[in-house]
A and B are shown apart, each in its own frame.
Chain A
């Protein structure tokens, strides 16, 4: 009986944990606008991508899962860029040179922005690494993913496709 209780408790907790990983207080809200300097020197503003499906991926050079995830995100970006999918990688390192080195090492092609002042990370309540936010064509945050585990890319794929279809 005790075992059964523990099992149920464990199950409930894991369901809550999974739910909190997939959702956030930001879901359903208008995506806070920001402008940041990008790796090619241009300033990019989120609101200028209104009408496209935008994925904002917060990452850091010291984060192992980010290193795993970024090439997979780049594949999604290359595949869906032509149909209105944008990917903005927001790096939160203090030193942007480290980020540039990692970008060239991984060979990713999506724009990387630098948030050295951590203002944008605060706006998006980034408390884990990586954090991936999906924004629909209307500029509303639809999905927020904290962390990365192998297989998340399949979820991203489904969500991107459904948002592109809207």
Chain B
């Protein structure tokens, strides 16, 4: 009798122990899942932080590069603008500073459209010493009656201390029904 009771209690304890193990086993993966999810989240955050740092670094490098390559004191920037553009369809601009070609820019239809709508294009940036310099800009395109048109504009300018900005403006001269090319110095 005692042996029977002992056997029953032994079997019951076995069942309990087995149940406990199963519960423990069921709980274990849930914890592991949560942990791995947490790890994944922190990894994702790390990646995002890293991405932000890379972007910041990229911005800093860009600014530094600009400051080093084009220090404000020797900086000269050349801009192109267009007013109406009825008598001239721009194709390209060739820029020479002191006899040396520095830019030969081809304009696409879309870019010309942007200029006609009032956009200004920074054609070139350079570092120049203080003193006198010569700028020659040659504009090619289609003139009145869609004939090939090529015109040059020259400007002698003085580079002082501080940055300088020059605007090459294409305007329509209604009286003459011709385009006009003017180089302006920004004050």
Interface residues of A (CB under 8 A from B): 35-37, 42-45, 48
Contact = CB atoms under 8 A, between A and B. Distances in A.
A42 B111 CA distance: 12
A16 B36 CA distance: 42
A26 B25 CA distance: 54
B187 to A, nearest CB: 32
A48 B110 contact: yes
A44 B92 CA distance: 12
A37 B106 CA distance: 8
A-B interface, 3 closest residue pairs, ranked by CB to CB distance from nearest: A35-B106, A43-B106, A45-B108
A98 B132 CA distance: 45
Interface of B: 91-92, 105-111
Nearest to B110: A48
Contacts of B106: 35-37, 43, 45
Nearest to A45: B108
B109 A35 contact: no
A44 B107 CA distance: 8
A67 B108 CA distance: 28
Contacts, number: 21
Contact of B91 (A36, A43, A44): A43
Among A42, A43, A45, A48, chain B packs the most CB atoms within 10 A around the CB of A43
A37 B107 CA distance: 9
A35 B105 contact: yes
Given A43-B92, A45-B106, A48-B110, 13 more contacts: A35-B105, A35-B106, A35-B107, A36-B106, A37-B106, A42-B109, A43-B91, A43-B107, A43-B108, A44-B108, A45-B110, A45-B111, A48-B108
Nearest to A47: B108
Nearest to A119: B104
A37 B111 CA distance: 14
21 contacts: A35-B105, A35-B106, A35-B107, A35-B108, A36-B106, A37-B106, A42-B108, A42-B109, A43-B91, A43-B92, A43-B106, A43-B107, A43-B108, A43-B109, A44-B108, A45-B106, A45-B108, A45-B110, A45-B111, A48-B108, A48-B110
A153 B184 CA distance: 53
Contacts of A48: 108, 110
Nearest to A41: B91
A35 B92 CA distance: 10
A116 B62 CA distance: 33
Contacts of B91: 43
Contacts of B111: 45
Contacts of A43: 91-92, 106-109
B22 to A, nearest CB: 47
Contacts of A35: 105-108
Contacts of A36: 106
Contacts of B105: 35
Contacts of B109: 42-43
A8 B107 CA distance: 54
A44 B110 CA distance: 10
A45 B106 CA distance: 9
A48 B110 CA distance: 9
